[in-house]
Amino acid sequence: MIRRLAGRLRRRLPRPLRRTARAVLLAWGWLTADLRQEPGIVVVGAQRAGTTTLFRLLSEHPALCRPTVDKGTGYFDDGYRHGRRWYRAHFPLRSSARGRVAFECSGYYLFHPLAAERIARDLPGCQVVVMVRDPVARAHSAHRHETARGFDTLPFADAVAQEAERTAGLTDLLAGSPGATSFAHRHHAYLQRGEYASQVQRYVDALGRGRVHVVDADALFADPVSGYVELQRRLGLPLHRPAEVGRWNERPGAPLPPDLEAALRRHFDRSDAALAEYLGRAPTWREESLS
């Protein structure tokens, strides 16, 4: 209850006060970083695949504790240059955690080419959760999200048509230059972010199959309590049944033209088929076509 009230208070503060409060909390976190714990669970994405909803659920779990400021830190992608002390500054004091496991949710970790190996190196024993969603719907939702934030001005059809050109060479750039960042790689890779199988494999290679938990977000929202309970079992958590499961941070939009949707569905044929290996069944959005 206290955590819920604190979250509501943070959201109701005017933006300048929220920035000030955030800076104060991180400064105090930096000074006390040696006394703080690092997470045992990291939700790595995918972007626009229900990670905000999962963050809300995990925040209510009595055996877990969230970061002190934001839902994620962005440390293992663009923030890695800040160092481990900066990272620990985002998490609760071990004394206040009282044995609870810390976690964070950062939606760019799944797609960033170096995040998996960084997590494996810096958080030995950490478990990773990957949320996947119909990649066509995810791409369309991501475009609405980036447009609303002022990060893209192209219509969706043009954005996906020009994606390869806009992002050419950027994955190799980030992989080869650990300090590099890329606006286009982060904000304009609508189709590439939905090619889940290769991204999941990167985490399996780095951490091992047993520490990577892939969740079909469409199946989770169809039966949220059962899906969330199953994830808790896989993570080895004591079971906690939420009173309700909403869909937070949604951006509803108009349907895609049928011809564009069909073309995008074909684009993901191979990746979706490969993803079935990690889910143990066909993805929800492919059950009819793969049956």
Residue type, 101: V
Q: Please tell me the distance from the alpha carbon of residue 267 to that of residue 194, in angstroms, as a whole number.
A: 10
Phi then psi for 105, rounded to 5 degrees? -130, 110
Q: What residues form DSSP beta bridges with 132? A: 216
More confident residue, 191 or 250: 191
Count of other CB atoms within 10 angstroms of residue 67: 23
Q: pLDDT digit string (tens) for 106-131?
A: 999 999 999 999 999 999 999 999 99
Q: What long-range pairs does 208-213 form, CB within 8 A, spacing at least 24?
A: 211/125, 211/126, 211/127, 211/128, 212/127, 212/128, 212/130, 212/278, 213/127, 213/128, 213/129, 213/130
Q: What is the DSSP letter of 93?
A: B
Mean pLDDT value of segment 215-221:
94
252's CB contacts (< 8 A; 6+ apart) are none
Mean pLDDT value of segment 171-192:
97
- What is residue 70's predicted lDDT score, i.e. its pLDDT? 87
249's CB contacts (< 8 A; 6+ apart) are 52, 53
Encoding tokens for residue 32? 């006390």
More confident residue, 95 or 15: 95
Using a 10 angstrom Cβ sphere, with 0-12 exposed, 13-18 middle and 19 or more buried, the burial of residue 208 is exposed
Task: Check pLDDT > 70 for residue 20.
Answer: yes
Mean pLDDT value of segment 170-197:
97
Mean pLDDT value of segment 51-66:
95
Q: pLDDT digit string (tens) for 95-107?
A: 999 999 999 999 9
Q: Please tell me the distance from the alpha carbon of residue 232 to that of residue 56, in angstroms, as a whole number.
A: 14
119: nearest Cα among 53, 45, 60: 45
pTM above 0.75, yes or no: yes
Strands 101-105 and 64-65: parallel
Task: Check pLDDT > 90 for residue 284.
Answer: yes
Tell me which of 2-6, 92-96, 169-173 is least confident: 2-6
Whole-number mean pLDDT of the chain? Answer: 91
Count of other CB atoms within 10 angstroms of residue 145: 17
- What is residue 18's predicted lDDT score, i.e. its pLDDT? 67
Mean pLDDT value of segment 78-86:
96
Mean pLDDT value of segment 81-91:
96
Q: What residues form DSSP beta bridges with 127? A: 41
Secondary structure of 3-38 as H, E, C letters? HHHHHHHHHHCCHHHHHHHHHHHHHHHHHCHHHECC
Task: Check pLDDT > 60 for residue 162.
Answer: yes
22's CB contacts (< 8 A; 6+ apart) are 69, 70
Task: Check pLDDT > 80 for residue 165.
Answer: yes
Superfamily of domain 43-66+102-290 in CATH is P-loop containing nucleotide triphosphate hydrolases (3.40.50.300)
- What is residue 3's predicted lDDT score, i.e. its pLDDT? 44
- What is residue 121's predicted lDDT score, i.e. its pLDDT? 97
H helices, E strands: number in the chain: 17, 5
